């Protein structure tokens, strides 16, 4: 696998592949890779002739009091994992390369409404940072297909909306969430949890499973959410939000809608975890 910080090298290699009629899949990451990331790369290998990955801890999507400096940097281990999974090209730019004029003077991309609620409300500016960096990376790599995990469900819809609205010729594929044996969704932030917190954090998936079953049985969504929040608090969580939305556009669930998603964000100690569960009513 070739690793480079140079935009020109990425473009030259992808251009050479495209000139031969070969397709390119792209997996953008912030590094500290786990099985969820590797699953994206392995799925990308099935979808295209060549796979490009990126590792960039994007300062634009972190808030003032968030864990940018503490975010784990594990480049050597990540390179080995990406090579084993089938990636051929890795882009590892610095903030200076991505934002040469500084973030204050950076043109940005913003996806209204869908990026303003839920995590967007709790983390103002977060999805502006996500949309901007993904747009920049798409313009640098120019892939045919890009893969993202469904664990970050709102992020996936923000990116899909951006690609559609800006007429980008890129297919966006969501890949199912990879979970630990306990049911806890794999996340780089799980490393911040101690053993006791990690065991209790598995309650989040259990609560969502119960919610979907209760809603499917005809129980009131309002009542189901109230019971679920109480269970999360009992397990040691501090809920940020727990809602049932349309799985197509994250609009509030209406009585006639069948395709729904439970979206949740909650703190276990100081660690903010997110998860979701799609189901049919």
Active site residues: 37
- What sign for the dihedral angle of Cα 249, 251, 252, 256? negative
Show Cβ contacts of residue 251 under 8 Å, excluding neighbours closer than 6 positions: 245
CA 41 to CA 133: how far, in whole Å?
A: 19
39 conformational bin, left if phi > 0, alpha if psi -120 to 50, beta if neither: alpha
d(CA 149, CA 36): 7
Residue 89 host element (H or E): strand 89-91
3 state SS of 50: strand
């Amino acid at each position: 696998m070739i690793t480079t910080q140079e935009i020109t090298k990425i473009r030259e290699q992808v251009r050479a592949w495209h000139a031969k009629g070969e397709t390119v899949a792209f997996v953008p990451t912030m590094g500290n890779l786990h099985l969820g990331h590797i699953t994206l790369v392995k799925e990308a290998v099935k979808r295209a002739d060549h796979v490009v990955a990126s590792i960039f801890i994007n300062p634009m999507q972190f808030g003032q009091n968030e864990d940018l400096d503490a975010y784990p940097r594990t480049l050597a281990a990540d390179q080995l994992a990406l090579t084993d999974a089938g990636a051929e090209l890795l882009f590892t730019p610095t903030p200076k390369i991505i934002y040469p004029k500084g973030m204050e003077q950076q043109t940005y991309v913003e996806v209204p409404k869908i990026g303003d609620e839920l995590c967007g409300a709790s983390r103002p500016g977060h999805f502006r940072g996500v949309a901007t960096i993904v747009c920049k990376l798409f313009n640098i790599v120019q892939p045919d297909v890009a893969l993202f995990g469904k664990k970050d469900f709102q992020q996936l819809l923000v990116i899909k909306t951006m690609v559609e609205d800006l007429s980008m010729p890129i297919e966006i594929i969501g890949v199912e969430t990879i979970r630990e044996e306990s049911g806890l969704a794999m996340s780089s932030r799980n490393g911040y949890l101690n053993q006791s917190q990690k065991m209790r954090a598995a309650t989040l998936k259990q609560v969502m499973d119960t919610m979907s079953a209760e809603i499917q049985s005809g129980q009131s969504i309002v009542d189901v959410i109230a019971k679920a929040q109480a269970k999360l608090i009992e397990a040691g969580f501090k809920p940020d939000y727990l809602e049932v939305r349309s799985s197509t556009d994250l609009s509030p669930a209406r009585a006639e809608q069948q395709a729904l998603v439970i979206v949740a964000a909650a703190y276990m100690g100081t660690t903010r975890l997110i998860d979701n569960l799609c189901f049919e009513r």
